[in-house]
Chain A
Amino acid sequence: MSETMTITIDGREIQARPGQTILEAAEAAGVYIPRLCYMKGLTPHGSCRVCTVLVNGRPQSACTQPATPGAVIENDTERLLALRRNIIEMLFVEGNHFCMFCEKSGNCELQALAYRFGIPAPMYPYLWPKREVDASHPDVMVDHNRCILCARCVRASRDLDGKNVFQFVNRNGHKRVAVNAEARLGDTDLKVTDKAVAACPVGALLKKRVGYAVPVGKRLYDHEPIGSDIAAAHKK
C-alpha cells in the first residue's frame, strides 16, 4: 500500500487510499461514522444524510464523498450529533414505529441509532401516516409502516440478486417502495434467501416465522451501541 494520503478526522490523522470514501477510510482506521442507508457491498446512495460530516467546513455525506489529500473532517461533534439526532427523530415520526411489538426490535439500525444518540423520545409531532402491509409472499412480508426509504432493498435486489424486485414510486411524502409485479410481493420472483431481504435495516422487510427467536438481552444492540464493533475491531 504505497499510495496513501493523510486525512484528519476530529484532530486525528489517518491514512486513506485513493478511491476510498471518507466513511470507508474512517472505518478502516477504527473511526465509526454513523450511517443508515449505507451498507457494505452496495453502491452508496447518499440519501439518509445520517453520515454527514464537515469536510473542510462543508457538510458532505461521508458515504459518497471520496477522501482527498489533507482533508480536515469533523465527525464526532455536538453540532453534527444534533443534526443526526434530528434526522433520526424525523424518521421515527414520519412512519409508524411501534418498537414494543416489532420483530426487528433489538436488531434494528434505526432504533440502535436512536439509542446511540441518546434519544429518549422523538420530539417532532407524529404524522401517523396510513401505510400498507403486504404479506402476500409465503416467506417474506413488507410493512410499509416501518420503511425509511433507504433503498438498500432496491440496490441489493438490482446489484446483488440481479432481480429488480423493488423500486421507488411517487415523490416527496408519497414516495414508497413498490414491487416489480402486477400486484403484490407474492407475485414477484423474490426468494427468502435473496440479499435484498437481509439488506433492510429496519422491520420493513421481514422473514416470516423467525420473529422473536432471539431473546431480549441477546440481540445485536441490547448491550453495546451500534458502531462499537468498528472501534473494537481496530483495537485487536
Chain B
Amino acid sequence: MAKPKVATTSLAGCFGCHMSLLDIDDRILKLVELVDFDKSPVDDIKEFTGRCAIGLIEGGCCNEENVRVLQDFRKHCDILISVGDCATMGGIPALRNNIPLEECYEEAYLNGPSVHNPKGRIPDDPELPLLLDKVYPCHEVVKIDYYLPGCPPPADTLWEALVALLSNKPVNLPYELIKYD
C-alpha cells in the first residue's frame, strides 16, 4: 500500500516552524517510513503531484500568493493544520495590522532608517504578489482542521500530532505541548 502523503508550506512565516519539524531529530527517519513528502520545501517539490493526507501550513496570509497557495493546499489535502502562531493568529507579520498599508510601504521602501532607495520608487513589478490590507490567520481564509500554536510549536508537538493523525487516533496533546510562545 502506498504511504500517505504530507505536504508543507511556509506562507507569511519565517521557516522557524519547518526548523522545528526538523528538530524531531532521528524520528525524521521514522517519519519518512510513515509518509512520503509531496509539495514541500523539504524536498523542493513545487506543485502537488496528487492527493495528500495532511497539509502543514506555516505562516498566515499577507499577500495574494499566500491566499492562492493556501487554497491549493485546501484543495489537495484531506487534513489541513495551522502550524505556529503566524498561521493560527497572524503572528509577528500581523504587527502591521493596525498600520495603514501605505505607511508600511513608505517605512519599508522610503523612510526607514536603513533604506537606500535613490529613485524613491516603491517596488511595483507586476510579478510581485500584491500585499493584502492585513495579515490574516489561515482559518480566516480557508477551513482549517487542526491548530498547533507556538513560536515555533515544539518538535514534540508536531511529532505527537502527526503520529496521532497518521494512526487515526484523536489528537489529544498533553498540557505542556500547547503553548503560545
Binding site for B on A (CB under 8 A): 92, 96-102, 105-106, 111, 114-115, 118, 120-123, 125-126, 128-131, 216, 222-225
- B179 in the interface, Cβ–Cβ < 8 Å? yes
Bound form: Cα–Cα A106–B89 in Å? 18
Contact present for B149 and A120 (CB under 8 Å): yes
Partner of A100, one of B91, B137, B146, B147: B91
Interface size class of B (residues with CB under 8 A): 20 to 34
Cβ-closest 7 pairs across A and B: A100-B151, A120-B147, A99-B180, A121-B88, A128-B97, A121-B147, A130-B98
A111 → chain B closest CB, angstroms: 6
30 contacts between A and B (CB under 8 A): A92-B89, A96-B98, A98-B91, A98-B92, A99-B85, A99-B181, A100-B92, A100-B181, A102-B181, A105-B180, A105-B181, A106-B181, A114-B180, A118-B178, A120-B146, A121-B82, A121-B137, A121-B139, A121-B147, A122-B89, A123-B139, A125-B140, A126-B89, A126-B90, A126-B94, A128-B94, A130-B98, A222-B176, A224-B175, A225-B175
Cβ distance B150 to chain A, nearest Cβ, rounded Å: 8
Q: Contacts of A101 on B, CB cut-off 8 Å?
A: 92, 181
Q: Is B134 an interface residue, CB under 8 A from the partner?
A: yes
Neighbouring A residues of B98 by C-beta, 8 Å: 96, 128-131
How far does the Cβ of A44 sit from chain B's closest Cβ, in whole Å?
Answer: 28
Asked if B176 and A223 make an inter-chain contact with CB atoms under 8 angstroms apart, the answer reads yes
The verdict on B148 contacting chain A, using a C-beta distance below 8 Å, is yes
CB-CB under 8 A for A121 and B89, given A100-B180, A111-B180, A223-B175: yes
Interface residue from B90, B94, B137, B175 paired with A115 (Cβ < 8 Å): B175
Interface: B29 (CB within 8 A): no
* A-B contact number at CB 8 A: 65
Complex-state Cα separation, A105 to B181, whole angstroms: 7
Instruction: Mark out the residues of chain B between 120 and 169 whose CB falls within 8 Å of any chain A CB in the assembled complex.
Output: 134, 137, 139-140, 146-149, 151
Q: What residues of A have a CB within 8 angstroms of the CB of B1 in the complex?
A: none
- Given A100-B151, A126-B90, list of 13 further CB < 8 A pairs? A98-B91, A100-B85, A100-B180, A105-B181, A106-B181, A115-B178, A120-B149, A126-B137, A126-B140, A128-B134, A130-B98, A222-B176, A225-B175
Query: Whole-angstrom distance between the alpha carbons of A101 and B147 in the complex?
Result: 20
Shortest CB-to-CB span from A232 to chain B, Å, is 15
A128 and B140 alpha carbons, distance in the complex (Å):
14
In the complex, B2 has a CB within 8 A of chain A: no
**Chain A residues whose CB sits within 8 angstroms of the CB of B149 once the complex forms:** 120-121
- When C-beta atoms are compared, the residue in chain A nearest to B86 turns out to be A100
